[in-house]
């Protein structure tokens, strides 16, 4: 039986500050994961936020 999403570990994204949950593809490198998505990792989130101002 798969674990419930509420039981999975969470982290806060270093770029956007939103919480994100553990994913199976991050199982081996969970300690090194800092960003919730490729957009945050590449800085696209920050650029889009600055354009809105």
Give tens-digit pLDDT for 4-47.
877 889 999 998 899 999 999 999 999 999 999 999 998 887 77
More confident residue, 32 or 2: 32
CA 13/CA 37 separation, integer angstroms: 9
Number of neighbours of residue 40 by Cβ within 10 angstroms: 19
The confidence score (pLDDT) of residue 21 equals 93
- Closest to 6 measured CA to CA, from 21, 18, 23, 19: 21
The confidence score (pLDDT) of residue 32 equals 95
More confident residue, 50 or 10: 10
Q: With contact defined as beta carbons under 8 Å apart, do 2 and 21 qualify?
A: no
Strand partners, 12: 19
pTM of this structure: 0.74
CA 19/CA 30 separation, integer angstroms: 14
- What are the residue ranges spanned by the domains of the chain? 10-36
The confidence score (pLDDT) of residue 3 equals 73
């Amino acid at each position: 039986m798969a674990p419930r999403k509420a039981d999975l570990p969470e982290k806060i994204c270093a770029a956007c500050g939103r919480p994100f949950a553990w994913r199976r593809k991050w199982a081996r490198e969970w300690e090194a994961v800092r960003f919730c998505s490729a957009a945050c990792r590449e800085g696209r989130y920050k650029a889009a936020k600055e354009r809105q101002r």
